[in-house]
Amino acid sequence: MLTPKKMSRLLIVASKDQLPPVIKELHRFHRFHIDDFIAGGRAGYEGFAIGTPLAGASEASSDLIKVRSIENTFSIQASDITSAEKRNNADLRAVIERELPVIEREVSALNAERSKLDAAIKDCEQKIAEITPFLSIPADLSLYSGYEGFTVFAGTVVKDVQIPEPAEYEIVKKGKAAAFMVAVVPNRQRGDVDRVLSDAGFSPVTIPAESGMPEERIREYNSRISELKANASSLAKRMDALREEHARFLVACEELLKADIEQAEAPLRFATTEQTFVAEGWVPSDTIAEISRRLTEATGGKAFITEIPISPHDTVPVEYNNPSFAKPSELFMDIYARPNYTEIDPTLMLSIVFPLFFGLILGDAGYGLILLALCFALRGFMKGEDGRYFLAVLRNASISSIIFGLLYSEFLGFELPWAPIMFSRHLNIGTKGGEGGSGPMIPALMIMAVWIGILHITLGRVLGIINHARQDHGEHRIKAVMANFGWLLVMWGILMIIWSMFAMPYMPDFTKLPVIVMGLNAAAILGAVMLVLGVLFIARDSPLEVVELPTIISHVLSYARIVAVGLSSVAIAMVVNYISIGMLIGPQLEHLTIIGVVIVVAGVFVFLLGHAMNTALGILGGGLHSIRLHYVEFFTKFYKGGGLKYNPFGLKRIFTED
């Protein structure tokens, strides 16, 4: 449970004519992690070459490209399609050749039509944009072009212009923007007018090649656009119908073709000679018997299958081996790093401790319920495996947050009808006023956080000892184990010394012990001995590590964030309540006036907005800080990670079956 799934190394050797059945069976079984053969890469494989793909790979590839392009046009995604009955592979293969080209033709015809319509609509809109400036001048558009002896200027000017006779011009000014002007100028005067206009900041517009009054033309184009849009929407309906009809078929095709290609290209990962092939890979140890039986059946006993011993230099693929409760937390492990094969897999601990930390930080029944509702609401939108895992983690965290909310007696920053069962976090804000209510028990909370830190770090160091004992060899092994033990000694030694000097609530009190020597009592002396011994153990493994000693204190104190971040969220909630309740009750409800109603509405708004913001901050604060405590304070004590992901050959079939 605390280690990855046990793997075995498997060797499959057979003659080349057994390739297709072997590959097919491995693909179907979906457990065999292929160790890719690299030419000249592995000792003992001299004279072997990479295999060649099976027949049909390129046809399947080109079909797959077709299927994907059609899916793209329709924006079909396999994850959107639910409850499809599985289609038989052989049936599907028979119809692919027949139906795929037909669908492709239909789709490309529709697509061409759609882009033609789109282009026509764009064209009309462009024309309207061109005509619009001329609306302000009541003249037929055909009058602006077609002259030999005259030049027409049309455009905007930023300054007023005076164009000398005999040119005709018209300036229309609208508001503060640049004025629109049109001028008809005899060709010989053109140079002068050009100069005058460029002084006035003239920027020309295209003269539309149209005839008729501008309003009429725009009206005409608008009616054309609505006609085209009607066409486009009927086309979209037709495409939707087509999509509805073929979506299932297309995703099934994609799955089948993908499987075909994977299988056809598998020999590229095997070592082959002229007559034989060798496939090496990894399977979970408990499936060896099953895979051997299946392969023997598929090849009629013509394949040689054997388990070969794991050498220390092998990179063993790592598959988690967790109870279903802890599975979702693998998401957080993969973000950090997958465990090594020989390492302790802390997923189970993370899956228990993370929700506890989250609840301790965001211990509020109201926010917990909001998050729980959010989890169920998001279920429809996050369908992938990662999404489901994330929601499961959030669900556990919010349940823990509700439980701690009941213990802390908090609901959206209000007090529940009972006194806090655990340490109180209620701040003296507003209505609580300080008298009567139980103020926050800061020292007690702090000490609780420090205790959590001490225990969590001790657990981390113990795991570190186990990891080093399992992974290392020879002298280094003893040194590394001792160093980890040394870190523990130093931490507990410092604690002993502190306890012997100061009496603290919820902590052992050694101050009353009889003084033995130099004002130190037994506990202090024991602590000092532990500290010195610990430093020696650490220095023996690596003297440089000694500079890291202060992290013992900073890491333990870092757990104070459980209290600090939690209190800040309590404070925000209480301030929001104080402000909004003040706006809601106050004098407004007694003498209801219009302004009073406005203030009450504003109060409700402040209440909703404030708590929405605090919920978001709560997820960030609770989640990020809890996971950080794991990544930085816990994992650095023992966890290395960097294992290879177990990626078995084959795929999860959703739409097809044999």
Partner 1 sequence: MADVVSTVEIATASQAGMKALGAGIAVGLTGIGTGVAEMGIGSAAVGAVAENKDMFGLALLFTVIPETIVIFGLVVALLLLF
Contact set with partner 1 (CB under 8 A): 335-337, 439-440, 442-443, 446, 554, 557-558, 560-561, 563-565, 567-568, 624-625, 628, 631-632
Task: CB nearer to partner 1: give 502 or 605.
Answer: 502
The token pair that represents 282 in the structure block = 């990894």
**DSSP conformation letters of 328-367:** GGHHHHHHH-PPPTTS--THHHHHHHHHHHHHHHT--HHH
Residue from 353, 362, 556 nearest 446 by CA: 556
Q: Which of 16, 96, 385, 98 is nearest to 258 (CA)?
A: 96
Distance separating alpha carbons of residues 2 and 348, to the nearest angstrom = 7
Q: How many H helices and E strands in the chain? A: 17, 18
Given the complex with partner 1, which of 137 and 567 has the nearer CB atom? 567
In angstroms, give the least distance from the CB of 620 to partner 1: 12
Nearest to 344 by CA among 313, 311, 322: 322
The residue (of 309 and 436) whose beta carbon lies closer to partner 1 is: 436
DSSP 212: S
Find the shortest distance in angstroms from Cβ 499 to partner 1.
Answer: 19
Residue nearer to partner 1 on the CB measure, 468 or 625? 625
Query: At its nearest, how many Å lie between partner 1 and the CB of residue 444?
Result: 10
Select 336 or 578, whichever has its Cβ closest to partner 1.
Answer: 336
Q: How far apart are CA 371 and CA 601, in angstroms?
A: 25
Of 22 and 360, which has the nearer Cβ to partner 1?
Answer: 360
- Provide the β-strand partners of residue 15: 276
Please report how close the Cβ of residue 634 comes to partner 1 at its closest, in angstroms. 11
**1 and 300 Cβ atoms separated by less than 8 Å:** no
Smallest gap from residue 336 Cβ to partner 1 (A): 4
Of 160 and 385, the one with the shorter C-beta distance to partner 1 is 385
Omega within 30 of 0 (cis) for the link into 214: no
Least Å from the CB of residue 38 to partner 1: 22
Residue 164 to residue 446: CA distance in whole angstroms: 88
Closest approach of partner 1 to the CB of residue 83, in Å: 33
ω into 166 cis (within 30 of 0): yes
Least separation, in Å, of the C-beta of 554 and partner 1?
6
Question: Where do the H-state alpha helices sit in 585-651?
Answer: 594-619, 625-628
Q: Smallest distance, Å, CB 433 to partner 1? A: 16
- Identify which of residues 8 and 626 has a Cβ nearer to partner 1 in the complex: 626
Closer to partner 1 by Cβ: residue 336 or 492: 336
Question: Which CA distances in Å does 230 have to 24, 113, 114, 119, 241?
Answer: 51, 13, 12, 15, 17
d(CA 465, CA 485): 7
Query: CA 364 to CA 536: how far, in whole Å?
Result: 46
